[in-house]
Amino acid sequence: MSEIRRVGIVGCGVMGSGIADVCARAGLEVRVAVSGEASAARGRRRLSKSLDYGLRKAVITEAERDGALERVSFTTDLGDLADRQIVFETAPENESVKLDVFGALDKIVEDPAAILASNTSSIPIIRMARATGRPGQVIGVHFFNPVPVLPLVELIGSLLTEDETRVRAEAFVAVTLGKQVIHSPDRAGFVVNALLIPYLLAAIRMVETGFATADVIDQGMVLGCSHPMGPLKLADLIGLDTVASIAVALYEEFKDPQYSPPPMLLRMVEGGLLGRKTGRGFHSYS
């Protein structure tokens, strides 16, 4: 099996641009498919900002930054991913959208051994696998935000994922990208979010009931439990819409009340108060 050198990415939001960053830094040729020219421009800005941050922190040199930028191209035509050896789907955490993407990739990507990977944080992989005619090549590869900084990646194979796909995906993530891999069964939320989301929802319920303010809760967990960030600032960083989507997926899977999204969270999402990306969530960001 040939070495993976050509990477495709669908979407260039926070996660898509982060994956493009680490793949380009690893010397790979990256092509990012986006919905339009405005999305491409935003994606380029995110990628440049991420690489500039690495330069300021002396993680990469100026030459490495420039080389990484040159290795990433953008397209508004999903068909331009036809020659990719691995494609990462980073569409919004919406099951119907992701199923459409996988159905399209199945028809577009020419190499029958190409890996079709989802960065979903909650949706069972087998559903996306069944949207294709090659379920054995579909796998979950869940990076964490910010992708260039956090070392962990969850690998999630479905009941239909072939062993060879698991082995190739792990080698790519661990050896080529230098990430630490943990394996999760194909259950909504996987390992990390199945633990994290109830914690975040508990903090939101404390604010909702007036038990404590967001500042007090965050200060308590940072100063009292040595967490690097409080749960409400973390929820704002993840995006409250994403937190709500993961909670809904977990609740639908397990029917456990601890996964049920609090009304306050749902109203904030409906009101566009999504956290850092909109400038306001449980905290304000200028």
Indicate the annotated binding residues for CoA.
50, 57, 121
Reply yes or no: is the peptide bond before residue 198 cis, omega within 30 of 0. no
Q: What single string gives the DSSP state of each residue in 159-183?
A: TT--HHHHHHHHHIIIIIS--EEEE
User: Residues 231, 200: contact at Cβ < 8 Å?
Assistant: yes
Candidate list 122, 158, 193, 245, residue with the active-site label: 193
Q: Is residue 208 flagged as an active site residue?
A: no
- Select which of 154, 170, 184, 245 is catalytic: 154
- Out of 17, 121, 122, 245, the active site residue is 121
Q: What is the C-alpha to C-alpha distance for residues 119 and 262, in angstroms, rounded to an integer?
A: 25
| Residue list, annotated binding site | 50, 57, 121
142 noted as active-site residue: yes
Q: Which two tokens stand for residue 101?
A: 């993407």
283 catalytic residue (yes or no): no
**What string of DSSP letters covers 55-93?**
HHTTSS-HHHHHHHHHTEEEES-GGGGTT-SEEEE---S
Whether the CB-CB separation of 120 and 242 falls below 8 Å is answered with no
Q: Is 145 in the active site?
A: no
Annotated active-site residue in 142, 158, 170, 245: 142
Positions marked active-site: 121, 142, 154, 193
